[in-house]
Amino acid sequence: MPELPEVETTLRGIEPLLCSHTVAGVILRTEKLRWPLDRNLETRLTGARLKSVRRRAKYLLFDFGRGTLLLHLGMSGSLRVVDPQIPAGKHDHVDLIFRDAGTLRLTDPRKFGGLLWVDGAPELHALLHNLGPEPLAKEFDAEHLYRCSSRRRIAVKSFIMDQKVVVGVGNIYASEALFRALIRPDIPAGGLSLERCRRLVREIKTVLSEAIAAGGTTLQDFQQVDGRPGYFKQNLLVYGREGQPCPSCGKQIRNLRIGQRSTFFCRSCQH
DNA sequence: CAAAGGTCCTGCTCGC
DNA sequence: TGCGAGCAGGACCTTT
């Protein structure tokens, strides 16, 4: 599910509801997600006040002062703030119950998401310290992309999904950004000119910003913190549109497998 | 049976 | 020949 816009949407939903509130209890309903769940989470969190929530790449970082809770939503995870009286469903794996506020409930059918307690500075954690720049930051620019792509033979689509190059671009927005930038997804990254890098950077920033404004994209599982879906799906130009006419030239949108992932593009517009 | 929004790990290949 | 970076494929899991 979640690429950067969905995680950002989740962050913006949670923050005003839970920040500065104190954890009253924790319920774990599964042994493990991506990693085994910390059985001491209840002890670590009960009585702790949520100082801030922020996002780095597709991770959410809950700062409790005494430590940080690191959360990744994987492919099918989502977070809601609910009334704790609402009974948990089959795939509701974790509840963080806040005093005088809602309960943060993690749902994740495929269990590819992960929850990790980090004692020290979270940015030093192995999961975070080798990540590329944030796509919406000014450090992510044409020169950066051009430098990284030099001599790389990997398909440009897999390249922009590499979190060491730039974070947050997943399978949906990679296809969308390449379509907007008129770049074929299967050409080697190393063949891009600086000018084409400039266009690609611009389109990545644009499509991610637009998707955030729409509350993300819901294909199946994703929901915003209040339970509404993301509304960007209707704005997807190529993703999931195999066989439909290209919005630009009218020729059929193609589906190609790159790196085991479905990739949508227009043969006649993208080169 | 195939595929679905992600990412880590393994083992192979290619170029110095 | 050997090394290391880069790359492809598999694994994780449940549902449709």
User: For A124-156, how does the pLDDT look when each residue is reduced to its tens digit (9 = 90+)?
Assistant: 999 999 999 999 999 999 999 999 999 999 999
Return positions of chain C under 7 A from a protein CB: 6-16
CA atom of A219 to C1′ atom of B12, Å? 35
Q: How far is CA A110 from the centre of its chain?
A: 16
Nucleotide C4 C1' to residue A149 CA (A):
18
pTM equals 0.97
pLDDT in tens, A46-74: 999 999 999 999 999 999 999 999 999 99
Which residue type, as a one-letter code, is found at position A83? D
10 Å Cβ neighbour count for A130? 8
Is residue A58 part of the annotated active site? The answer reads yes
Find the helix or strand (DSSP H, E) in which A15 lies.
helix A4-18
H helices present in A183-230, as ranges: 194-213
Active site includes A111?
Answer: no
Contact at 8 Å (CB) between A269 and A249?
A: yes
- Displacement of CA A255 from its chain's centroid (Å): 22
Is position A196 annotated as part of the catalytic site?
no
Token duo for residue A197: 């890098």
The pLDDT score that the predictor gives to residue A151 is 95
